């Protein structure tokens, strides 16, 4: 079963450039441990509470693939060290899972 993971990440105002620099490292490390390609979106029109929010979208082959990836991610020393750097850059972070409707 295909699963779409959608992750809204609200960045602290004034920290977007610093966040995007750290994202370069995160993307490279995530690819190394098997994350599928992701799409990133930023709002150009809509509710004011979505300003400074990036939406990530990743298509996975299954829930098991997501579980396997997160297991690798949480045990990877490089990624674990990087996580602390996000403190002070992210105001909020969510996770939504969807599957295509027949």
Helix (H, G, I), strand (E, B) or coil at 81: helix
pTM of the model: 0.87
Q: Is 83 a member of any domain?
A: yes
| Residue 48: per-residue pLDDT | 79
Residue 9 DSSP class:
E
Q: Is 5 a member of any domain?
A: no
Domain that holds residue 56: 11-95
Q: Is 4 a member of any domain?
A: no
Q: Is 89 a member of any domain?
A: yes
Q: Report which of 61, 74, 64, 92 is spatially closest to residue 30, judged by C-alpha positions.
A: 74
Instruction: List, for residues 50-100, the tens digit of each pLDDT value.
Output: 889 999 999 999 999 999 999 999 999 999 898 889 989 999 999 999 999
Distance CA 59, CA 35 (A): 10
Mean of per-residue pLDDT scores for the chain? 93
Q: Is 6 a member of any domain?
A: no
Confidence of residue 43 (pLDDT cuts 50, 70, 90): confident
Task: Give the other-Cβ count within 10 Å of 9's Cβ.
Answer: 20
Q: Give the chain's domain count.
A: 1
Q: Is 100 a member of any domain?
A: no
| Residue 5: per-residue pLDDT | 98
């Amino acid at each position: 079963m295909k699963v779409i993971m959608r992750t809204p990440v609200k960045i602290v105002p004034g920290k977007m450039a610093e966040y995007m620099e750290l994202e370069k490292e995160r993307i490279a490390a995530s690819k190394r441990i098997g994350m599928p390609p992701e799409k990133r979106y930023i709002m150009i029109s809509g509710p004011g509470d979505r300003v400074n929010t990036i939406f990530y979208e990743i298509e996975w082959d299954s829930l098991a693939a997501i579980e396997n990836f997160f297991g690798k991610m949480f045990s990877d020393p490089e990624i674990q060290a990087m996580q602390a750097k996000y403190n002070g850059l992210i105001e909020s972070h969510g996770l939504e899972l969807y599957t295509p409707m027949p």
